[in-house]
Amino acid sequence: MTTASQEQVVEVEPFLHAEAQVVRAERITPSMVRVRFGGPALAALTSGGPDQRVKIFLPRPGQIVPEVPTGADWYARYREMPDERRPAMRTYTVRSADRATGELDIDFVQHGDTGPASAWAARAQPGDQVVIWGPNVEAPVVLGSDYAPPADSDWQLIAGDETALPAIGGIVEGLAEGVRAKVFVEIPEDADRQEFAPTRADVDIVWLPREGVTAGRSSVLVDTIRAAVLPDGAPYAWIAGEAGGVRELRRHLVNEREFDRKRIHFCGYWRAGKSEDAPYEASDQQD
- Name the β-bridge partners of 94: 106
**pLDDT on residue 274:** 61
Question: Please, what are the domains in the chain?
Answer: 15-135 (2.40.30.10), 155-270 (3.40.50.80)
Picking from 107, 94, 117, the residue whose alpha carbon sits closest to that of residue 45 is: 94
How far apart CA 278 and CA 21 sit, in angstroms, is 28
Report pLDDT digits (tens) over 66-101: 999 998 899 999 999 999 999 999 999 999 999 889
CB 172 within 8 A of CB 158: yes
Report pLDDT digits (tens) over 177-218: 999 999 999 999 999 999 999 999 999 999 999 988 888 889
CA distances from 218 to 91, 154, 223 (A): 23, 30, 9
- Secondary structure class of 77 (helix, strand, coil): helix
Determine which helix (DSSP H) or strand (DSSP E) holds 243, and give its type and residue range: helix 243-251
**pLDDT on residue 61:** 86
CB 87 within 8 A of CB 60: yes
**Cα 59 to chain centroid, rounded:** 21
pLDDT digits (tens), the chain, 287 positions: 455 444 555 678 999 999 999 999 999 999 999 999 999 999 999 999 999 999 999 999 889 999 999 988 999 999 999 999 999 999 999 999 998 899 999 999 997 667 899 999 999 999 999 999 999 999 999 999 999 999 999 999 999 999 999 999 999 999 999 999 999 999 999 999 999 999 999 999 999 999 888 888 899 999 999 999 999 999 999 999 999 999 999 999 999 999 999 999 999 999 886 665 544 444 444 44
